[in-house]
Amino acid sequence: MKKIIFVCLLCFGIVFMSCSKSVSEEDFLLAASSGKNSDIKKYIKAGSNINTKDSNGNSALILAVNNNDTKIIKELIKGKININAQDNNGNSALMIAVDNGNIEIVKELLKENADLSLENNDGDDALIISHKKKQESITKLLVDKIYK
């Protein structure tokens, strides 16, 4: 009888810990997408999985780039997030920043050596996206970085 109770408690503990972890990851992604910089700092300090993704493959960095949130982006970079993570469509944070036309975020990501050779599911890289979107200043910046 004691063994059964112990096994049940052990299983409950494992299930509870696993649920707590996923809630923490959801909270982390929510903080990144809603601009809660103090929460991001708290979660990083607590050891949250900084590279977790949502069901669409969006990392916290991609969510922050989508919101043009430079404060969150800088915190995530300080926390050593995978800067080249791609979502389910193959888009990286750099590609999204280019698509949004946010040159300051593009500069920040390039400063951190974002990979310019990554392609999304359509076969487009950041340079092609900038050209298609007629982002002339970003296109020049990317070309300069490639041929530097």
* Domain membership flag for residue 13: no
* Domain membership flag for residue 10: no
pLDDT for 23 equals 39
Q: How confident is the model at residue 2 (pLDDT cuts 50, 70, 90)?
A: very low
Looking at the structure of the chain, the number of domains it has is: 1
Higher pLDDT, 35 or 91: 91
pLDDT tens digits, one per residue of 69-95: 999 999 999 999 999 999 999 999 999
pLDDT for 88 equals 98
Cα separation, 87 vs 134, whole angstroms: 23
pLDDT tens digits, one per residue of 105-123: 999 999 999 999 999 999 9
Distance of CA 24 to the CA centre of its chain: 16
* Domain membership flag for residue 8: no
* Domain membership flag for residue 88: yes
This prediction has a pTM of: 0.82
Domain range for 45: 23-146
- Cβ atoms of 40 and 32 closer than 8 Å: yes
pLDDT for 37 equals 80
* Domain membership flag for residue 16: no
Mean pLDDT of the residues in the chain: 87
CATH, residue 41: 1.25.40.20
pLDDT for 66 equals 96
* Domain membership flag for residue 9: no
